[in-house]
Amino acid sequence: MAARPRLLYISPVVPMLTGNGLAMRAGIVLEALAHLYDVDLLVAPLYPPFLAAVPEPFAKLCHRAAIVPTRPQPPRQWADSRFDVVHVFRLSMLPFSRPYLSGWWRRPQRHLDLDDIESVTRRRLAALYRQNGDAAAADREAAAALRQEALEAETLRTFHRVYVCSAGDRRVLETRGRARAQLRVLPNAVRLPAPVPAPPADGVFTFLFVGTLGYYPNEDAVRFLCAEIVPRLRKFAPGRFAVHIAGTGAAKSLIEAANVPQVRFLGEVPNLDPYYAQAHAVLAPIRAGGGTRIKVLEAFSYGRPVVATNIAMEGIEARPEEHVLIGDTPEVLAQQCARLVFDRALGQRLAGNALALLRQRYTVEALAAALGDIGGR
């Protein structure tokens, strides 16, 4: 039996089963790659969670796994090893990947998981900061967008394969001219949780927001929700609802902004299952960002209907009124929330359709199948 090709996976985040979307994608893609390759995992952590060791479920999938410091110099943990493929997760790992992208034996295949088109995301962040009155942060993001665009152009010229998480992102890159790299869609996915019970049919209708609250689009979404959407929802459904907000990394000012009637700030919770069990619906009033929102897919997996902005649903093949309720202004978002409060059958229909879509397109098995169709080499 022929030996499987050997792949080095370089990640800026420790893979996780749950938690923030970046760590979840790292884990899900690693699991899929392990079906095709003998994998060595090298984590140079730039983003949380900052752990001392790779969690056992992922370490077991790897031939070797290590977490190394990113300073004082890029890690060269296995620079003298032979790899058939070097798989780089995110543009931020390019400086750390360079020692592995050529070798005395031959040049390995270079694969990049772009995750989202960061130049686009940065420009959106710049626009959001400017809209919120922070010109200095807007200028920083605009400058970062130019740097990211240059790196994206470099990888399209020099890498063999670039993965993106949606067909829309692939189309954006295709408009940038001829590239050496093959552009491949590797969708986001979630693991299906154990079924959670349906929330109480009577009493207060509970909405849930989940996100990493140190990430500016999520912070903005919470402020937008509490200052603009909740007051309007009170007019449409007085005394009939509550909003729960869960996530890590919230600044004190954000916690204070969420201190409004009918909103409960949960902060970091060890297990989301009980809060999804209490929730009748999930909110995603995101106004900037990129890629696809794993937290929306997570809500689908728990069988909960979602009210979201168009930007929150980018890259997910969900249709308005069939899988999700959409709004971009606070008035429309509040109206969509009120529809769910008064029409429980609507929520059940949306949640059922969304769960069926998830099972077809956004499970770990679907991602592994997509990677297998792309081919191992």
User: Are 79 and 54 found together in one domain?
Assistant: yes
Range with the poorest average pLDDT among 29-43, 156-170, 189-203, 326-340: 189-203
> Helix, strand, coil % (nearest 5) of the chain?
40, 20, 40
The CATH number of the domain where 98 resides is what? Answer: 3.40.50.2000
User: Are 181 and 244 found together in one domain?
Assistant: no
User: Are 105 and 241 found together in one domain?
Assistant: no
- Using an 8 Å Cβ cutoff, are 337 and 306 in contact? no
Could you tell me if residue 200 is inside a domain? Answer: no
pLDDT, position 106: 64
Look over the chain and give the mean of its residue pLDDT values, rounded to a whole number: 91
User: Are 355 and 369 found together in one domain?
Assistant: no
pLDDT, position 103: 61
User: Are 76 and 92 found together in one domain?
Assistant: yes
pLDDT, position 62: 96
pLDDT, position 377: 44
User: Are 283 and 332 found together in one domain?
Assistant: yes
Distances (CA, A) of 31 to 58, 100, 355: 7, 22, 22
Q: Is the pLDDT score of 198 beyond 90?
A: no
Q: Rounded mean pLDDT of 308-315?
A: 95
Could you tell me if residue 295 is inside a domain? Answer: yes
pLDDT, position 376: 46
Q: Is the pLDDT score of 1 beyond 70?
A: no
pLDDT, position 2: 59
344-361 vs 294-301: helix axis angle to the nearest 10? Answer: 110
Q: Which tokens go with 297?
A: 């897919």
User: Are 210 and 91 found together in one domain?
Assistant: no
Q: Which tokens go with 115?
A: 């995750």
* Alpha-carbon torsion, ordered 157, 111, 11, 147, to 10 deg: 10
H helices of the chain, where?
A: 21-33, 56-59, 94-97, 118-131, 135-158, 167-174, 216-224, 230-236, 252-257, 273-278, 294-301, 330-342, 344-361, 364-374
Could you tell me if residue 123 is inside a domain? Answer: yes
Domain count, the chain: 2
Residues near 239 by Cβ (< 8 Å), separated by ≥ 6? none
Residues near 104 by Cβ (< 8 Å), separated by ≥ 6? none
Q: Is the pLDDT score of 30 beyond 70?
A: yes
| C-alpha distance across the termini of the chain, in Å | 17
DSSP type of residue 225: I
User: Are 219 and 297 found together in one domain?
Assistant: yes
pLDDT in tens, 248-270: 999 999 999 999 999 999 999 98
- Using an 8 Å Cβ cutoff, are 9 and 87 in contact? yes
User: Are 175 and 314 found together in one domain?
Assistant: no
Could you tell me if residue 194 is inside a domain? Answer: no
Q: What is the widest separation between alpha-carbon atoms in the chain?
A: 70
Long-range contacts at 310-314 (CB < 8 A, ≥ 24 apart)? 311/124, 311/286, 311/287, 312/284, 312/285, 312/286, 313/284, 314/166, 314/168, 314/290
DSSP type of residue 103: -
Could you tell me if residue 102 is inside a domain? Answer: yes
344-361 vs 330-342: helix axis angle to the nearest 10? Answer: 110
Residues near 29 by Cβ (< 8 Å), separated by ≥ 6? 89, 113, 186, 367
Specify the 3-state DSSP secondary structure of 31: helix
User: Are 108 and 65 found together in one domain?
Assistant: yes
Q: Is the pLDDT score of 205 beyond 90?
A: yes
Range with the poorest average pLDDT among 169-178, 213-222, 258-267: 169-178
User: Are 131 and 119 found together in one domain?
Assistant: yes
- Domain range enclosing 279: 205-361
Could you tell me if residue 1 is inside a domain? Answer: no
pLDDT in tens, 68-127: 987 766 677 887 788 999 999 999 999 888 888 876 556 899 999 998 899 999 999 999
pLDDT in tens, 36-61: 899 999 999 998 888 999 999 999 99
User: Are 167 and 305 found together in one domain?
Assistant: no
**CA dist., res. 304 & res. 143, Å (int):** 39
pTM (whole model) above 0.85: yes
